[in-house]
Structure 1
Amino acid sequence: MNGLIHKTNGVHKNGKSHKTMYTEETDWRKDYWESFEETPLLAAVFTYICYGLVVLIGHIRDFLNDLGLLKVNACLEPRIPGFVPLFSTWESFYTRHVFRRVSDVLSIPVCGVPAARVEIMKRVTHNYGWSYELHKDERSTMLNFGSYNYLGFSQNKGPCYDAAKSVTHKYGITPCASRQEMGLLDIHAELDSLVAEFLGVEAAFTVPMGFATNSMNMPCLVSKGCLILSDELNHASLVLGSRLTGATIKTFKHNNMQSLEKRLKDAVINGQPRTHRPWKKILIVVEGVYSMEGSIICLPEIIRLKKKYKAYVYLDEAHSVGAMGPHGRGVVDYFGLDPKDIDVMMGTFTKSFGAAGGYIGGTKKLINHLKLTSHCSVYSPTMPPPVVQQVLSSMKIILGKDGTNDGQRRIKQLAWNCRYFRRNLHERGYIIYGNKDSPVVPLLLFMPTKLAAFSRECRKRDLATVVVGFPATPITKTRARFCLSAAHTKEDIDEALKIIEEVGDLIRLRYSRLPVPDFNENDIELIR
C-alpha cells in the first residue's frame, strides 16, 4: 500500500515471512497493524482433499439412490417430465451432503440473554439433521463468545431495561405505520437527533432493520450512469443494495489502497464504457470493521483518495460503532478524523447498543432526501418504541448523559479484552486474522472436519462460539470467529483461552510458525 499505510515483511529467525501493516510518520495511529498469515501449504492440500472426499461420497450416494440401492435421507426435488429443476442442483447437492453434516454446529438454539454467559437448549435429530427435537428442560449455561454484544448492553435488568419497560406501557410495541403515515413518534425524532449528535453530523435517519438500512437506501443515492467501487469483502446487504441501484459495480481488493486508487484512476481517465462520458457519481463503499476478517478499514487513506479523485464515501459502521474509538463512535473516532469527511455514515443498533435497526447520518440535505424517497420511510413501519428507548438509553450512557462513567468503563473494558484475548491466542501459536483493536477475532481452522470438531468440543467444555466455512469464507480459510464483549471479565477470557488451548491441542490447530506480532509492552496495562 502507498500513502499512510505501508506493508512490511518482517523475517522470523526461521526465515519465514511475517506480513503486517503499520503506519509511518503519521499522527493518527502509529501502532496500527493487521495480521493475515498465509495458509500453510499442507493445511491447504488436506482441506481440498477433505472437500473432495465429501463431494465424491455425495455423488456415490446419489448414484446408489437413483439405482434404488440406498435411501438418501434428504429432501430431493421430484423430477417432473418437461420441467426444469426449480432450484439449483449444486446448491441442493451441497446442502444435502456437505452443509447438513455440520448443521448442528451452525444453528444453536439460544434461550437466554446473550450476555457473557448464555443458556443453550439441547436438541436432538432423528433424521440426520433435517429436523430437530428441542428438549426444553435440558439447558446448559456456556461462555458466550459468539454474540455481537460488544458493549454488554443486551441485558434483562438495569437502566436500559427499566426505561424500555416503561416506554412499552406508554407507547405499546409498535406504531403500526410508516414514517410518512402517522408512524413517527416523538421518541423517533429524539433518536434521530441523538444519533446525529453522537456521530457529529448535521442530521440522521433511523431504520427498523439493519440489513434494510443498506439495501433499501443505497438505491436512493446512486443510479444508472454512476459507479460503485466496493471492497471485495463487503457485507451481503451492501452487495444487494449496490445491485439494486442499477449503477456499474467494480470491486477492489480488500483494504488495498493501491487497488482502489487504480480503479479510481481508470474511472476518471476512461469514464463510462463505450461512450467514455464522465461518471455521474463515484461512490466508494467500505465497512469500518469487517465481521469475517476482523480487519479495520484504512479510513485516512480512503478519505485522501476520495478528496483526490472527487468521489463520495459510504461507510458501513455496523461492527465498529460503539466498539471502536476512545469515545465509542466508530472508526472515524478511532482514527481521530472529521465526521464531515464521510459523505454517508451508516451503522446498526443490533450490536453495540443491544437493540435492532440502523441509521444513516450525513448532511441535512442528504437525510431529507432519504426521508422522502427511501422505501424504509415510505413502506416500512418505524422502529418499535421499546427498541427505540433501548438505543436512547444505551447511547446516553456511552455519551455520559446518565451522569455516570459507565459508558467509558465499558469502552475501555472492551478495548482491553480485545488486545488481551488476541495477544494470548497469538502466543499460543494460532493463526489469527485482523487488527489488534478489533472486537472480532477469527481463528483459522482450515478443514471442514475441524470446523465441526472445534465447535462440538468447545460446547462440551461450555464455550459457545461461531464457526464459519465455505462458501461464506474462501475454501481454505474456514474459521472460528470470536466476538469480544465488555461484559467479559478477565476470568471469563482466561477460561475461554484454556478451553481453546485444550481443543486446539486435541484437533491440532497450532499452524502458525511466525513470531508474536510486535505489541507495545504497555498496551494492555495502559488500556486497563
Structure 2
Amino acid sequence: MSRFIPNAPPDDRPQQIQDELEYGKLTNKKYLYVSKHAAGEPLPEPIEDEPPYYIYIATYVNYLILIIIGHIRDAFGKVFKPQDYQDLIEQNGYAPWYDGFENFYVRRLKLRIDDCFARPIHGAPGRYIKLFERRALGKGEYEFTGQSMECLNLSSYNYLGFAQSSGVCTDSALDVIDKYGTSACSPRSYVGTTDLHLETEQVIADFVGKEAAIIVSQGYGTNASLFSSLADSKCLVISDELNHASIRFGVRLSGAVVKVFKHNDMDALEFLLRQQISQGQPKTHRPWKKIIIAVEGLYSMEGNMCNLPKLIELKEKYKCYLFVDEAHSIGALGPNGRGICDYFQVSPSKIDLLMGTFTKSFGATGGYIAGSKPIIEKLRLTYITNNYSESVPPPVLAQIISSLRIIEGKLNPGEGKERLERIAFNSRYLRLGLKRLGFIVYGADDSPVIPVLLFFPAKMPVVSRVLYSMKIAVVIVGYPATPLTTSRVRLCVSSALTKEDLDYVLEKFSYVGDLAFLKYSSGIAGGSKVPGQPPRWSIKDVLEVNVEDCKKPQLP
C-alpha cells in the first residue's frame, strides 16, 4: 500500500532536451549493427556458464536461513502479538484467501525487499525514466516525498523507443483522437470495428508476411483466449517448458491435452512427437485431431531464441501445426524488424500462426494473431477476446500504424533502419561487455533481453538499490518467476540508449559486481585474455575493444 501519490513535478525544460532524454542521438555510425542469422546455418548452442557448486549450496543455505528466521518470528509473534496474525487464520467461519506458504513467502521474504519492485513512474518510458521517490514505512507501506528521479532506463520493453511523448507517432495518435475520439466503446464483433482496425490488420499481415491478421486489445489476453478457438480435448498441444504464462493458461482453458518438452531441446521434442503420434489419444488411442507445437520466438526471462529452422523441419516431418509467440521478437529482431522469421531468413508461410504484441517494439497496447485467411476468418467468429473484449482504441491504432510505417521506411525514410541497427548494436555491446567483466549472462547474442545472474536472495536488493542510487533503473527477478537458485537482474535494451549510456552502465555494473561479489564467470564465455583463466577484464580494457568485438558473427 502507498500513501498519497503526488502529481508529477512539472518539467519546464525545452522540448529539444526532453526529446533527447526520451531518445538519445546517434553519436557515431560505428554504433550500428544488423541482426541476422546466416541462412541455412544451425542455431549455435548458447554458452551456458555455471558458477562454482558452492554458490548453489550457499544460495540454498541463504533461503533456508531466511525461512527458519521467518518461522521463528511467526512463532513468537503469535504469542506476543496475536492481533497481527488474525489474517492468517480462519475468520468468522471463512477459509483464508491464501495458503500458509503463500502468505509466509510474501511476508517474510518478498516484503523485505518490496521497495525494489513496482516503483511508480511518470512520463514516457524512454531513454530516461522518471521514478517517484518514496520512503518505506514498513509492512509494505510507503510515503511519497513529492520528488522524482531520472534514471537510465534498462527496465522497459520499449525496444525501438517509439513510446515517445512527441514525434511522428504521437502526432498521428493526436490527429486520430480529433477524428475518432478515444475509444470505440464496443467489442469488435458488435460495433467496435472501424476502418482503422481493418487498416491496422492489413498493415500487420503485410508486415509479418501473412494473408490476414486479427488484433485485440490486450497482449496477455491474445494467448489466454486463443487456444479455446483452436483446440479441444481431442487435440494435443506440445509446449516448451519456458513458455509464457499466457500460453500455459490458454492451453489449460481450451481443455486440450498438453505435453511439455525441455526448453529448446529438439531431440526431446522429436521423441515426444513420435511417442504421442504412435500412442494417440488417452484411453481410446485414436489419432489426435490436431497437434500444435507452441513456442516463443524470444524468451523474455532467458533472453534466448527458439530454434526455428529445426522446429519447421519437425513440423513438416510430422505434419503438425506450429504456433510462435513473437511478443518480444517482433520489431526487435531481424534486418527488417520482422521478427524471428526475418532473423533466420525463413518464409513466414512455413509457420501456421504468428502471435505478437504491440506493447513492446511498437510502443502501443494490444496484440495480434496472423495466419492464413481461413483461420483468421474463423477466429473472427469464435475468438472470445474478439467477441467480449473492448476493441483497440483509435489513437492506439494510429500509434501502431505509424510505428510500423517508420520501420518499413514509408514514414521518415531511414529512421526505422537506424532504430533497428541501434538496438542490435546496443544488445551485443552490453552483453559482451558484461560477459568480459566476469558476470554470468544468459541468452542469445542478438537478444535485447539480457539476464545477469545474481543467485543469492540478499543480492537482489543490493543490486537494485545501489544501481538506483546511481540513477540506473533495472528489473530484478526471483522465485517464483525463476527457479529458486537463479535470481537475476533482467536488462531490457532499447535503441533509445546511446553507446555512452551503455559505457556508464558497464562502469557501474563493474563496481556493483566487485562490491557484491557477483563476478562468478568460469571463463568459458566472454573471451578470456588468458586461456583457462576467468575473463575478469578491467572496465578500461572492455571499453577499448568492445565496439569492434561485439560485431563479430558470434560473440566470444
Same fold (TM > 0.5)? yes
Aligned to 2:91: 80
The structure 2 residue matched to 1:109, chosen from 120, 123, 137, is 120
Q: Secondary structure at the match of 1:50?
A: helix
Aligned to 2:379: 370
Q: Spell out structure 1 runs of 4+ moving beyond 6 A.
A: 518-521
Distance 1:193 1:523, change over 3 A: farther
Aligned to 1:507: 516
CA distance in 1, matches of 2:221, 2:186: 17
Please say if residues 51 and 522 of structure 2, whose CA atoms lie closer than 8 Å, have aligned partners that are also in contact. no
Amino acid at match of 2:445: K
1:68-109 CA-to-partner distances (Å, cap 9, x unmatched) read: 25875x783343375443322211111111111111101111
The worse-fitting range, judged by mean Cα deviation, of 391-400 and 75-84 is 75-84
What are the residue-to-residue correspondences of 1:118-267 with 2, within 5 Å? 118-129=129-140, 131-136=141-146, 138-267=147-276
Q: Secondary structure at the match of 1:272?
A: coil
Aligned to 1:294: 303
1:134-180 CA-to-partner distances (Å, cap 9, x unmatched) read: 223x1111111010111111100110011101111211111001111
Q: Secondary structure at the match of 1:458?
A: helix
What are the residue-to-residue correspondences of 1:421-460 with 2, within 5 Å? 421-460=430-469
CA distance in 1, matches of 2:267, 2:42: 20
Aligned to 1:93: 104
Amino acid at match of 1:398: I
Aligned to 2:48: 36
CA distance in 1, matches of 2:547, 2:363: 33
Distance 1:50 1:299, change over 3 A: same
Tell me by how many angstroms 1:36 deviates. Answer: 2.2
Aligned to 1:55: 67
1:162-203 CA-to-partner distances (Å, cap 9, x unmatched) read: 110111121111100111111101111100000000011000
Please say if residues 436 and 527 of structure 2, whose CA atoms lie closer than 8 Å, have aligned partners that are also in contact. no
1:344-396 CA-to-partner distances (Å, cap 9, x unmatched) read: 10000000000000000000001001111111111112101111100000000
Aligned to 2:483: 474
Aligned to 2:403: 394
1:343 aligns with 2:352: yes
1:68 aligns with 2:68: no
Tell me by how many angstroms 1:40 deviates. Answer: 2.6
Please say if residues 51 and 521 of structure 2, whose CA atoms lie closer than 8 Å, have aligned partners that are also in contact. no
Amino acid at match of 1:108: R
Distance 1:82 1:376, change over 3 A: closer
Tell me by how many angstroms 1:286 deviates. Answer: 0.3
Distance 1:28 1:487, change over 3 A: farther
Amino acid at match of 2:194: L
CA distance in 2, matches of 1:525, 1:269: 46
1:403-428 CA-to-partner distances (Å, cap 9, x unmatched) read: 51111111011111111111111111
Q: Secondary structure at the match of 1:103?
A: helix
1:12-38 CA-to-partner distances (Å, cap 9, x unmatched) read: xxxxxxxxxxxxx98434674423223
Tell me by how many angstroms 1:465 deviates. Answer: 0.3
Q: Secondary structure at the match of 2:233?
A: coil
The structure 1 residue matched to 2:421, chosen from 412, 427, 430, is 412
Q: Secondary structure at the match of 1:125?
A: strand
Aligned to 2:536: none
Tell me by how many angstroms 1:402 deviates. Answer: 1.1
Amino acid at match of 2:432: R
CA distance in 1, matches of 2:209, 2:549: 28
The structure 2 residue matched to 1:276, chosen from 260, 265, 285, is 285
Amino acid at match of 1:215: A
Please say if residues 228 and 248 of structure 1, whose CA atoms lie closer than 8 Å, have aligned partners that are also in contact. yes
Distance 1:342 1:424, change over 3 A: same
Aligned to 1:352: 361
Amino acid at match of 1:332: C
Amino acid at match of 2:354: M
Tell me by how many angstroms 1:57 deviates. Answer: 1.0
Please say if residues 292 and 320 of structure 2, whose CA atoms lie closer than 8 Å, have aligned partners that are also in contact. yes
CA distance in 2, matches of 1:106, 1:29: 41
Tell me by how many angstroms 1:217 deviates. Answer: 1.4
Tell me by how many angstroms 1:218 deviates. Answer: 1.5
Amino acid at match of 2:143: E
Give the fraction of aligned pairs with identical amino acids, expressed as a percent.
44
Please say if residues 455 and 487 of structure 2, whose CA atoms lie closer than 8 Å, have aligned partners that are also in contact. yes
Distance 1:518 1:453, change over 3 A: closer
Amino acid at match of 1:351: K
- Structure 2 gaps of 5+ residues are 1-36, 529-545
CA distance in 2, matches of 1:401, 1:500: 39
CA distance in 2, matches of 1:86, 1:487: 43
CA distance in 1, matches of 2:92, 2:171: 61
1:262-289 CA-to-partner distances (Å, cap 9, x unmatched) read: 1101011111122211111111000000
CA distance in 2, matches of 1:525, 1:55: 46
1:452-479 CA-to-partner distances (Å, cap 9, x unmatched) read: 1110010011110000001110011000
Tell me by how many angstroms 1:60 deviates. Answer: 0.9
Amino acid at match of 2:71: H
Q: Secondary structure at the match of 1:434?
A: coil
CA distance in 1, matches of 2:391, 2:312: 33
TM-score (norm 2): 0.87
Aligned to 2:30: none
Distance 1:31 1:306, change over 3 A: closer
- Structure 1 gaps of 5+ residues are 1-24
CA distance in 2, matches of 1:261, 1:76: 49
Amino acid at match of 1:133: E
Please say if residues 64 and 70 of structure 1, whose CA atoms lie closer than 8 Å, have aligned partners that are also in contact. no
Q: Secondary structure at the match of 1:495?
A: helix
Q: Secondary structure at the match of 2:396?
A: helix
CA distance in 2, matches of 1:86, 1:488: 44
Distance 1:166 1:526, change over 3 A: farther
